[in-house]
Amino acid sequence: MLYAIIATDHPNSLPARRAARPAHLARLEALQAEGRLVLAGPHPAVAATDPGDAGFTGSLVVAEFEDLDAARAWADADPYIAAGVYQNVLVKPFIQVLPR
């Protein structure tokens, strides 16, 4: 089943986000290589492709996991958590309607 992982960043966590980004992306690329990643990306703090120093307010990942516990375990192991980027993370089932 698909799960949405919706994370909210701590205020002023941009330096930590930048430092942990390579490890964060490596995990997402592994999901993609396994054919389990639907989409992933950050929420910019301002309406811009590159928000610069305004940074980000969080992230969204939609991916396939065996069950809710597996999705939560994957989310809990994110380098952004260890680096203090994420303030909170919500994991919940997701049904993709479109595109098919």
Ranges in the chain, pLDDT < 70: none
For residue 91, which of 11, 36, 32, 73 has the smallest C-alpha distance? Answer: 73
Helix (H, G, I), strand (E, B) or coil at 73: helix
pLDDT given for residue 73 in this prediction: 98
pLDDT given for residue 26 in this prediction: 98
pLDDT given for residue 46 in this prediction: 97
pLDDT given for residue 100 in this prediction: 87
User: pLDDT tens-digit profile of 54-81?
Assistant: 999 999 999 999 999 999 999 999 999 9
